[in-house]
Amino acid sequence: MAIETVLGDITQQDVDVVVNAANSSLLGGAGVDGAIHRAAGPRLLSACRELRATTLPAGLPVGQAVATPGFDLPARWVVHTVGPNRYRGETDPGLLASCVTSSLDVAAGLGAASVALPAVSAGAYGWDAAEAAEVAVGAARGWLDGHAGSSVRTVRFVLFSPPVLAAFDAALAAHGATDRAAR
């Protein structure tokens, strides 16, 4: 089982699951959320509207995750998670860790072997990249260690800028020197 980091576009990753840093409405937004909705095509929005009309009428809670098909993405599925927003006072690292672990739980439930995650909450939601990286990498490492029999074999953090990549590389080095960053 490996944890990797890469600078790139999460919508172009050849993985089973891409994780969307969604807002609770699941109806698209800016940043990673908007990019995934654009790349997946209009059927993703329809699937999210269906979730809202049926199982999630109040929206997806912070730290939880839910899956939809990937539609026009290379990934077969999109797992949506809502990160904590520091600007709204959501500063509990446990909520951010739950985004990672809940997403990996859902991915494992789908039988996914490879999962690409963004830097949840490290953009518009105001979390410092180093803190977000430490929490996310620690949560991924703990999940993988605790789920050795899971289908999930690779967790790839796909980062949007060199400084965020550096933060995740530093956290990865602190959590397991056997993991290698993909380039």
33 is catalytic: yes
| Residue 156, token pair as written in the block | 């790839």
d(CA 6, CA 165): 7
Task: Please identify which of the residues 9, 14, 16, 33 carries the catalytic annotation.
Answer: 33
Are 63 and 105 in contact by the 8 Å Cβ rule? The answer is: no
d(CA 3, CA 179): 6
Q: 8: exposed, middle or buried (C-beta count within 10 Å: 0-12, 13-18, 19+)? A: middle
Active site residues: 33
